[in-house]
Structure 1
Amino acid sequence: MKRDKKLKNPVASFILLSNIIFFPLFCLVGVISILEFPTWIFDVVFCMSSWSSTFAFVILFKKIFPDQSLIKFVKDQFKKKLKPSIIVIASMIQAAIFLIILFLISQNQEVGSTFTISSWGMLTYFFFKNLLAGPLGEELGWRSFAQIELQKQHSPLKASIIIGFWWGMWHLPIWFTTGFVGIDLIKYILFFMIALISTKIIMTAFYNLNQNLIIPIMIHQFFNFYIGLINGNMIDLIMYSAIFYLVAAVLMIVINPKNVLYGDS
């Protein structure tokens, strides 16, 4: 039986194919929006577009790991027992950032208009829609493959910055659907990239401390979910997120718990 030839640059191939798959799917999302299809159709196709990195990883899997089983690989990402302390600390950091941003935004909002969600039903729907349209579809490829693969050549911190940059660039088509132009668009892109790279560093630290994919999925979920809850100017929201996630990332770099970001681990 002929063996699959292993890819020479698997991370670069993964990033390229993720973008190739994502762009037409995102264009389809735009067409559905323009033609005013039902909301549920828009949500389904939007979720599909967010899974482009997983589709890319599945397509390339046998070229990357010719002797492994995809099902076993996925199961292994959740094999390590979750550490309650890791979950609590990571959750508290993001909850604190959320509350600070909420306070800052609320100073410029009318009473009762701070949140985008007005009922528990909408809150539940929004939570699970965000989970499907982001964390579940992105983390397998970007975190458990690309990040770990780069950590074989670079420190986790350097690998986080590299993957964080390309993960941010993967969102490029979305930037031009925000309605921002000129200096506002530049601000949005800058703050967006700072926020994502900072979040990526935090993800890596906690992921390497526990090595269970639930950790980055959770951090990614709360990042998206909390921003979506607050009713405010998007540039202000992403700016505050960039500032406070950067502060948290710098603290993680300085503390470097158990040398999970650099140094001998």
Structure 2
Amino acid sequence: MSKEKKLKKPVANFILLTNIIFLPLFCVVGVISMLGFPAWVIDVMFCISAWSSTFAFAILFKKIYPGQSFIQFVKDKFNNKLKFSVILNVIWIQTFIFLMVLFLVSKNNEVDSIFTVSSWGMLFYFFFKNLLSGPLGEELGWRGFAQLELQKKNSPLKASIIIGFWWGMWHLPIWFTTRLVGIELIKYILFFMIAIMSIKIVMTAFFNLNKNLVIPIIIHQLFNFFIGLINGNLLDLIMYNAIFYFVAAVIFIIINPKNVLYGQKDTNLRLQPLKGQAD
């Protein structure tokens, strides 16, 4: 029996296919929005488009890992026992950043309400919509696969910078829905990329401390959720978050807790070869 060939440049192919799937899905979101469909329909379609990286990884999986089980791969990403200390540190760091941004926005902006939601029902809806449209749809492909795949041959920090850049560029179509133009749009893109690449480094540090995909999902969720909660100028919001997360990333790079950012390579994907299959 001929041996199935593994896909060359799996991360590059994953990024390319993710964008190919995302662009038409995002265009559909724009079309149904212009046609005046109900908000919940737009939200559902937006959630589906956010899962483009998972769709891409699922399509490529058998070529990347011949003979392996996709379901088992997903299970392995959640197999390690969660560390309470890691979760606690994630929550307090991001909550601190949220409170600092909230203070700055409330001080520098005149708005009727500092929050975008006005009831518990809206808060719960917003929380779960964000969870479905970002963290749950993106983390398996970008972190569970691409980050760990690059860490086989690169330091986690270098892998973070590479994946952070392409993860940020994947958001490119969304930049042009902000209604910002000219220098304001350029500033938004710059701060957006700084924020994305910084949060990516923070994700990697905590993910490598506790190799369970729940960790980057929590970080991603809190990042999106906290930004969306604050009613303020969009450019100010992304600028403040970019500054604080950049500082957090630099601190992690300096202290490098337990050697998780630049002192090791070959973070295991925890996939065991089938009997008779070479490593």
TM-score by length of 2: 0.93
Q: How well do the aligned residues superpose, as a CA RMSD in angstroms? A: 1.1
1:218 shift after superposition = 0.2
Deviation at 1:39, TM superposition (A): 1.2
1:107 is paired with a residue whose SS is helix
Change (3 A) 1:4 1:264: closer
- Over 3 Å counting, the alpha-carbon distance change for 1:111 and 1:177 in structure 2 is closer
Residues 130 and 224, structure 1, Cα contact 8 Å, conserved in 2? yes
Deviation at 1:123, TM superposition (A): 0.2
Map 1:54-65 to 2 at 5 A. 54-65=54-65
Gaps of 5+ in 1: none
Dislocated runs of 4+, deviation >2 Å: 1-5, 108-112
Question: Within 2, Cα distance between the matches of 1:26 and 1:88?
Answer: 35
Give the secondary-structure state (helix, strand or coil) at the position aligned to 2:102: helix
Please give the alpha-carbon distance, in whole angstroms, between the structure 2 residues aligned to 1:109 and 1:12.
42
1:54·1:137 contact (CA, 8 Å) conserved in 2? Answer: yes
Q: Which residue of the partner structure matches residue 182 of structure 2?
A: 182
Structure 1 residues 110, 257: closer, same or farther in 2, change over 3 A? same
Q: TM-score, normalised by structure 1?
A: 0.98
1:10 matched residue in structure 2? 10
Q: What is the aligned partner in structure 2 of residue 192 from structure 1?
A: 192
Over residues 76-110 of structure 1, what are the superposed CA-to-partner deviations in whole Å (9 max), with x where a residue is unaligned? 00000000000000110000000000000001344
% same residue: 74
Q: Which residue of 1 aligns with 2:216?
A: 216
For 2:272, the equivalent position in structure 1 comes to none
- The separation in 2 between residues aligned to 1:75 and 1:112, in whole angstroms, is 46
Structure 2 counterpart of 1:48: 48
1:4/1:62 contact within 8 Å kept: no
**Separation in structure 2 between the aligned mates of residue 264 and residue 19 of structure 1, nearest angstrom:** 30
Q: Give 5+ residue unaligned stretches, structure 2.
A: 266-279
How much does 1:264 deviate? 4.3
Letter in 1 for 2:127: F
List per-residue Cα deviations over 1:160-197 (Å, max 9, x = no partner).
Answer: 00000000000001111111111000000000000000
> What residue is the counterpart of 1:77 in the other structure?
77
Partner of 1:225, secondary structure, is helix
